Amino acid sequence: MENKELIAMAKEVMQRAYAPYSHFRVGAALLAKDGRVFLGCNVENASFGATICAERTAVTKAVSEGVREFEKIAIVASSGEYAAPCGICRQVLYEFMPEGSVVLWSKDEGELERPLRELLPMGFRGEDIK
- Is 5 marked active-site? no
List 5, 55, 65, 95, catalytic entry: 55
Task: Report d(CA 122, CA 38) in Å as an integer.
Answer: 26
Taking the CA atoms of residue 57, residue 104, residue 72 and residue 27 in that order, the dihedral angle to the nearest 10 degrees is 20
Task: Report d(CA 93, CA 120) in Å as an integer.
Answer: 10
49: Cβ contacts below 8 Å, ≥ 6 apart: none
Going by C-alpha positions, the residue among 87, 86, 96 that lies closest to residue 122 is 87
Q: Could you give the residue numbers annotated as active site?
A: 55
